Structure formats: structure tokens, C-alpha cells
Copies of this chain bind each other. A is one copy, B any other.
Amino acid sequence: MENAMSEAYQGLLEIDRIIHEPARLLLVTILSAVQEADFLYLLTTTGLTKGNLSSHLTRLEQAEYLVQEKSFVGKTPRTVCRLTPAGQAALASYRQQMGAVIGE
């Protein structure tokens, strides 16, 4: 039983760090709920600074967990973000792993 335990929990050491970071977990959790959100919406709902938000979005984009689509609304720029299937899968997997550790 102790062996079973340690094997079940050791997965923690390989958990997805991209998602595990609290700010990004917050972002992907929000995005998984609303499908689509722009920079300013994420800025106010998360309370992150602009710099932080920008860099976390970039990191998630590099991981191909989300896409940022840049456009103009009238004359002001607008960035809208959406999770990719890979991002949704990564979040689902993370939830499952963490659920096993903290939960039941």
C-alpha cells in the first residue's frame, strides 16, 4: 500500500509546470470556462499586471496551449485568446493528476 501510494504520487514530480504555475492555471481555467477572452478581460478578472499577463500568455502560446489573435476594433488594438485542443487536454490531464493527489 505504501508502494502503491508512492507510485501514485510520484507523478507529481513530472507534472506540467506550464499549467502548474498559479497565474497560468488561473488563465487556462478561465479560458476553459469562457472559450474566448481578450487581453483586457483577462487583465481585470485575474488582477495580474499587464506585463505579467503578457508574458504568461506568451508562455502559453509557445507551449501551444492557446492562440492569440490580434486585430483592430476601430483604431484600438485587440488581442483575443482561446485555448487550443492541446491546451484543453493539458488542463484536463492536470486536473486529473492533481485530483488524485489532493482529492478523492
Residues of chain A touching chain B, judged by Cβ–Cβ distance below 8 Å, are 2, 5-6, 9-10, 12-13, 15, 20, 22-23, 25-26, 29-30, 33-34, 45-48, 94-95, 98-99, 101-104
When all copies of this chain in the complex are counted, the total is 2
> What is the minimal beta-carbon distance from A51 to any residue of chain B, in angstroms?
15
A-side binding surface: helix, strand, loop or mixed? helix
> What is the minimal beta-carbon distance from A18 to any residue of chain B, in angstroms?
13
Q: Are A101 and B45 in contact (CB under 8 A)?
A: no
Q: Which residues of B contact A99 (CB under 8 A)?
A: 99, 102-104
A99 to B103, CA, bound (A): 7
Question: Top 7 A-B pairs ranked by shortest CB distance?
Answer: A6-B45, A95-B102, A12-B22, A12-B26, A103-B104, A98-B102, A15-B22
Q: Which residues of B contact A12 (CB under 8 A)?
A: 22-23, 25-26, 29
Q: A102-B94, A102-B95 are in contact. Are A5 and B22 (CB under 8 A)?
A: no
